[in-house]
Amino acid sequence: MNLNTFSRSSDVISFVSWFNENYHSLIINFRIIRTRFVPEGIYISGTGFSSALNHYRWLATGMHTGDWQETKDKLSNFRTSLRKFTKINDSEFALQTCAEILKWGGDRNSNFGAYPFLYGKYKNKELTTYLEKSSETLKLEKSNLEELSGIEKMNAMLTKVHAIYSDDGLPIYDSRVAAAIATLIEMWRRASSKEKEALPPELTFPSTTRTRRVINAYPDAIYPHTISYNQSDSAILWASAKVRLGC
């Protein structure tokens, strides 16, 4: 499946049409427990996607409120720095910016996962080249869903680095996002009497953890699989979901 096939899919067209007609009236229920990033938790209901922005909180280290505006400003600064250092091939400061992004994103252990991968690229003098090439591979207007092998690794932290580096709206695709889009797909399926049909591949958005899945909201939903970090094609599956979501 390439992006041409994806964009012409009748299911994709139907879902986008449904979402455009209903996003402003959807009931948004937040039941987010207290964590160090969301110290007070979020337990509210609102109408419409835009209302959700008023309740956004991610109080990472160094942030004062963690609200939507402060988060936008912080990510914009990350993007400016990471693109600047990559362009001038300053690998040391590019790596430092990546580390700051991972810290903002809630990386639990820098000895595993994203940082060792990025550090390995840095040690091999490949970091800035990899970031640039990955950005081209993941460009929303140019990406070929059948040619994503250049993405070597993807996880909940690396998806943030790639999304922040991009300049075309490439989304973060982590466990919360995966659960949210899969739930929206299921809402559309039920509104369109398609809930008993197989999930179309174009709109199959796998979860990235078993604790956040569409079946939490719809126990009888047809469940898209969970990406396992041990799968040989996990990076490609993850990258495909990112690009399709962005498009």
Residue carrying the six token digits 């469940």? 223
| Secondary structure (3-state) at 12 | helix
Q: What are the angstrom distances between the C-alpha of 20 and each of 23, 163, 222?
A: 6, 23, 24
Q: Is the pLDDT of residue 61 over 80?
A: yes
- Which DSSP letter does residue 148 get? -
**Residue 218: which residues within 8 A CB-CB, separation 6 or more?**
183, 186, 190
* Domain-wise residue ranges, the chain: 67-246
Q: Tell me what the mean pLDDT of segment 206-223 comes to.
A: 94
Please report how the helices 158-165 and 127-137 are oriented relative to each other, as an axis angle in degrees rounded to 10: 70
Band of pLDDT at residue 170, cut at 50, 70 and 90? very high
pLDDT in tens, 101-117: 999 999 989 999 999 99
Q: Is the pLDDT of residue 85 over 80?
A: yes
What is the reported pLDDT for 50?
87
Q: Is the pLDDT of residue 2 over 80?
A: no
Residue carrying the six token digits 């909180």? 57
Residue carrying the six token digits 């427990």? 33
What is the reported pLDDT for 229?
84
* Percentage of the chain modeled with pLDDT above 70: 100
Nearest to 34 by CA among 69, 66, 63: 66
- What does the alpha-carbon distance between residue 158 and residue 155 come to, in Å, rounded to a whole number? 5
| Secondary structure (3-state) at 4 | helix
Q: Tell me what the mean pLDDT of segment 180-205 comes to.
A: 96
- What does the alpha-carbon distance between residue 77 and residue 71 come to, in Å, rounded to a whole number? 10
Structure tokens at 195: 């809930």
pLDDT in tens, 216-225: 999 999 988 9
What is the reported pLDDT for 224?
82
CA angle 120/167/68 to nearest 5° reads 95
Band of pLDDT at residue 5, cut at 50, 70 and 90? confident
Residue-wise burial string across 18-53, b where 16 or more C-beta atoms lie within 10 A, e elsewhere: beeeeeeebebeeeeeeeebbeeeeeeebeeeeebe
- What does the alpha-carbon distance between residue 121 and residue 106 come to, in Å, rounded to a whole number? 21
pTM: 0.95
Residue carrying the six token digits 């160094």? 62
pLDDT in tens, 116-149: 999 999 999 999 999 999 999 999 998 999 999 9
What is the reported pLDDT for 35?
94
Band of pLDDT at residue 78, cut at 50, 70 and 90? very high
Q: Is the pLDDT of residue 201 over 80?
A: yes
What is the reported pLDDT for 226?
95
Least-confidence region, from 2-11, 112-121, 209-218: 2-11
Band of pLDDT at residue 174, cut at 50, 70 and 90? very high
| Secondary structure (3-state) at 207 | strand
